[in-house]
């Protein structure tokens, strides 16, 4: 009996990723993957039960590791929030606009419309990023670095702002915005969420007592 190895499994994932990226999910086949791999379909099915399982695993492998490294740039302990968000936005966009990730995104969107697999791919990619952004903003709001609010909404707003002018255009093969748009997006977000550079969290002030009413002048 042929022994399964991690190296062989990774080789299958690497070849499958290349096939899915170039052919899309629908046109790709286990036969084509095994041909490029230099083995039999039986070998593939020894590691993955279906094309769907192999596709999901390949998509996850391509995005999870590098994506996690980028999300770690969201450091709530950093002194300069504006710099943190700018650095993160640039790294994030460089990642999602790379040729490989763009091809994966197009394939995932096309396949997601036709099967439940799309939901799983969304949860592994965009949703994981949103969850980590939400945790980041939750910490900032709890510390008073940002005013109290809904961290999940903040993550959606921030993601939408930094992707604007870039992601949709790239998916269609159109020209994207320039670097100045990233800085502008961060500025708009921080202004909308009431952040000022050099702001120090302080205890919430007590409400001032209402002014006393002026005594009415005596009649007559």
- Condensed to tens digits (0 to 9), the pLDDT of residues 104-142 reads 788 778 777 777 777 877 888 889 899 999 999 999 999
CATH superfamily of domain region 6-192 = Tetracycline Repressor, domain 2 (1.10.357.10)
Residue 23 has pLDDT above 70, yes or no: yes
Task: Give me the chain's average pLDDT, please.
Answer: 84
Question: Predicted confidence band at 163 (pLDDT cuts at 50, 70, 90)?
Answer: very high
Render the chain in DSSP notation, one character per residue: -PPP-HHHHHHHHHHHHHHHHHHHHHH--HHHHHHHHTS-HHHHHHH-SSHHHHHHHHHHHHHHHHHHHHHTT--TT-S-HHHHHHHHHHHHHHHHTSHHHHHHHHHHHHHHTTSTHHHHHHHHTHHHHHHHHHHHHHHHHHHTSS-S--HHHHHHHHHHHHHTTTHHHHHHTPPPP-THHHHHHHHHHHHHTT--TT----PPPPPPPPPPPPPPPPP-
Closest CA to 57 of 66, 48, 65: 48
pLDDT of residue 173: 92
Residue 86 has pLDDT above 90, yes or no: yes
pLDDT of residue 118: 75
- Condensed to tens digits (0 to 9), the pLDDT of residues 171-217 reads 999 999 999 999 999 999 999 999 876 544 444 433 334 445 444 55
pLDDT of residue 4: 73
Q: 71 versus 201: which is more confidently predicted?
A: 71
**What torsion, rounded to 10 degrees, do the Cα atoms 50, 53, 57, 63 define?**
120
Share of the chain above pLDDT 70, in %: 88
pLDDT of residue 110: 79
pLDDT of residue 153: 97
pLDDT of residue 30: 92
Q: How many other CB atoms sit within 10 Å of the CB of residue 173?
A: 8
Q: What are phi and psi of 83, to 5 degrees?
A: -65, -40
Q: What distance in Å separates the CA atoms of residue 155 and residue 25, rounded to the nearest whole number?
A: 30
Residue ranges covered by each domain of the chain: 6-192
> Averaged over 40-62, what is the pLDDT?
86
């Amino acid at each position: 009996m042929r022994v399964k190895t991690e190296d062989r499994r990774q080789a299958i994932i690497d070849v499958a990723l290349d096939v899915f990226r170039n052919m899309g999910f629908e046109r790709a086949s286990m036969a084509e993957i095994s041909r490029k791999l230099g083995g039999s379909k039986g070998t593939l099915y020894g590691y993955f039960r279906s094309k769907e399982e192999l596709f999901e695993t390949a998509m996850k492998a391509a995005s999870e590791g590098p994506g996690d490294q980028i999300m770690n740039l969201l450091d709530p302990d950093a002194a300069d929030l504006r710099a943190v968000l700018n650095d993160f936005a640039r790294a994030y966009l460089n990642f999602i606009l790379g040729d490989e990730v763009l091809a994966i995104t197009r394939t995932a969107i096309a396949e997601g419309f036709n099967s439940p697999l799309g939901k799983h791919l969304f949860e592994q990619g965009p949703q994981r990023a949103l969850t980590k952004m939400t945790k980041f903003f939750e910490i900032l709001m709890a510390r008073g670095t940002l005013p109290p609010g809904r961290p999940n909404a903040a993550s959606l707003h921030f993601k939408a702002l930094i992707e604007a002018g870039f992601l949709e255009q790239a998916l269609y093969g159109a020209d994207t915005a320039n670097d100045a748009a990233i800085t502008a997006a961060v500025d708009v977000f921080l202004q909308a969420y009431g952040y000022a550079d050099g702001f120090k969290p302080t205890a919430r002030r007590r409400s001032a007592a209402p002014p006393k009413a002026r005594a009415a002048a005596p009649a007559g």
